[in-house]
Amino acid sequence: MAARSIASLTVSFGLVSIPVKLFSATEASRAISFNLLHKTCGSRLKQQYFCIKEEVPVGREEMAKGYEVDKDQYVMFSPDELKALEEAGTHTADIAEFVPIESVDPVYFDKAYYLAPDKGGAKPYALLARALRDTKRCALGRWAARGKQYIVMIRPVENGLVMQQLLYADEVRSIKDVEIPATEVKPAELKLAHQLIDAQSSEAFDPSAYKDDVKARIEAAIEKKVQQGEEISMAEPAETGAQVIDLMEALRASLEKKSVPPSKGKAAPTEAAAPARKPAKRAGAAEPASPAAKKRAKA
């Protein structure tokens, strides 16, 4: 099924303007969601706002937005005041600079969009994609939409471009806020760790190699309830295997499991590796759910 454009905008740098179409790169609709129901009759529940002071339900026409400046003290804003504070949409992503792709930490990545050339934009689009790919750089700029202003990074991918929304600096915590004690790493431990990494290395990331087992179990359970009307039993907790405390032994055991011989001059481990954990029993076979069940799960 062909992707559907969700917006149009212009990417500009210098005197070059590129009309592009915007496509969502991710599909949140693929996630399984549940509705809240009344347990006794199975009807949908309706959310209701309640005033904690007057103890009465409040309709949307009686609501206002406020910012808490102190405990239970708010500055109130009218819809017109909030509207005046919004950023006017420009339908333009203005590139401010070009930086090496590896200089942007993925921790700043937010929502991603695919870009495709719009009418008259094929040539400059191809030029920008090729130039970014050749220089191993990405473009950074600003984009205003939905009343907000975003930092965006435009980077090459395969034969096209991706526009990645980025978080602002004050939205990302520093790793320095996390207490990490200084610890000595012994050369022998590091050598075994390198061997283990080499044994489990791949040429590139293949996202199709990773499956959402939880989603598959839920879909199978939904189909089972739809087809048979059976109750779903809880999975039994997995048994915990013996814990390997010694770091060197853990690394050697991992290498043995991967059939990689330990480095020369190192004695082979005398103890067997920790026994494998027993898999938890699943409720129902994890078979692909029917289209009907998937549709009901999204409802």
Beta strand pairing status for 148-157 and 109-117?
Answer: unpaired
pTM of the model: 0.66
CA–CA separation, 103 and 138 (whole Å): 9
Give the tokens for residue 150: 């975003």
Q: Which of 14, 5, 22 is nearest to 128 (CA)?
A: 14
CA-CA distance, 221 to 231, in Å (whole number)? 9
Of 154-163, 173-182, 286-295, the one with minimum mean pLDDT is 286-295
How much is the average pLDDT of 206-230?
Answer: 83
pLDDT for 40: 86
User: What pLDDT, in 10s, does the model give residues 87-142?
Assistant: 666 788 999 999 999 999 999 999 999 999 999 999 999 999 999 999 999 999 99
Tell me which DSSP letter residue 280 carries: P
Residues 6+ apart with CB under 8 A from 2: none
pLDDT at position 237 is: 65
Please report the pLDDT score of residue 280 as a whole number: 44
Report yes or no: 137 and 98 within 8 Å, Cβ to Cβ. Answer: yes
Amino acid residing at 299? A
**Domains of the chain as residue ranges with CATH:** 7-29+86-170 (2.40.290.10)
Separation CA 240–CA 278 (nearest Å): 8
Q: pLDDT digits over 6-25, tens only? A: 888 899 888 889 999 999 89
Which pair of structure tokens corresponds to residue 46?
Answer: 């309706």
Q: Does residue 125 contact residue 16 with C-beta atoms inside 8 Å?
A: no
Residue among 231, 124, 113, 108 at smallest CA distance from 175: 108
pLDDT digits (tens, 9 = 90+) for 51-83: 888 889 888 888 889 989 888 888 988 888 888
Cα(187)–Cα(191) distance, rounded to whole angstroms? 6
Parallel, antiparallel or unpaired: strands 160-166 and 109-117: antiparallel
Q: Are 153 and 164 in contact (CB under 8 A)?
A: yes
CA–chain centroid gap for 278, Å, is: 29
